[in-house]
Structure 1
Amino acid sequence: MGIRYYAYAFDPQNADLAVADPDGFISADPLADAWGFPHGAESASPTFEQAVPPRDMLYLDKAWSAFQSLTRAAEGHSARPSFRMFEGAVVQHAYGWERFVRALVPEEMPAIAADLADMDQDWLERHLCVPPQRDSDEELEYLTEFLGRARRFTASLVEDGRGMVYMIG
């Protein structure tokens, strides 16, 4: 199935708890939340409609790795503020991987949201390192969709004064 990205919002009064125990804010079945099928189902048809409201959950599928690459520090430059929400790596081992989980407190969200607001399809086109071909059009469309979701999610977190917990895994 691959390594995916899920983020869940938390209210400001829960910031200390989210930092201490980010797993407590991650759903037991985030893929079910993202794809719209019953939790724990062994056989079900997904609706591909996110079951959790978009203000409460962000699903970035596998686009997270491109955003991580696009926002990390480059030679002579610092990482973009939004790198904080993409940073992290799973730990590979013989039987799969250990996921990465982190909490970002409400005070971190304005800089992240503002940074994402500066990115759009034109920005993606300029920064993607994919040679012009049919696949690059599909990748651009894919990343543009998920960037829009990330922008809306972080903007709503700022508006509501909330933080987020994210999982790569």
Structure 2
Amino acid sequence: MHELGWDSWVRTIRPEEVPVIRDALCAIDESRVRAWAVDWRRPHGADGDDDLRYVLDYLRQAQEFVESLARDGRGMVYLIG
């Protein structure tokens, strides 16, 4: 952060780095997310099951995406911000 906002974080992930990321991401399953949910569920708003479905849907999409990168031997550019 700085006086004008923030600097985006950008990183190139080379194809040879992707399998390690895939393995770590795919090791996260619903039971692990449920265990972590105790710490991040909102006290007000959507109920915990809605929050859980939301997170699990994005997790599944991320797992499928990184699996396709690994299968095709591709890397990616990662941008936050």
Q: Name the TM-score class by shorter chain.
A: 0.7 to 0.9
User: How many correspondences in the alignment?
Assistant: 78
Higher relative contact order (CA 8 A, sep 6+): 2
Query: Equivalent of 1:130, from 16, 35, 40?
Result: 40
Say whether residues 1:158 and 2:70 are aligned partners: yes
Q: Which runs of 4+ in 1 moved over 4 A?
A: 131-134
The structure in which a higher percent of residues are helix is 2
- Is the contact made by 1:130 and 1:136 (CA closer than 8 Å) also made in structure 2? no
TM-score by length of 2: 0.81
TM-score by length of 1: 0.42
The structure in which a higher percent of residues are strand is 1
Identity %: 38
SS across alignment from 2:12: strand
**Unpaired runs of at least 5, structure 1:** 1-91
Q: Deviations over 1:108-137 (max 9, x none)?
A: 111111121121222200123136965432
**Unpaired runs of at least 5, structure 2:** none
- Is the contact made by 1:103 and 1:166 (CA closer than 8 Å) also made in structure 2? yes
Over the aligned positions, Cα root-mean-square deviation in angstroms equals: 1.9
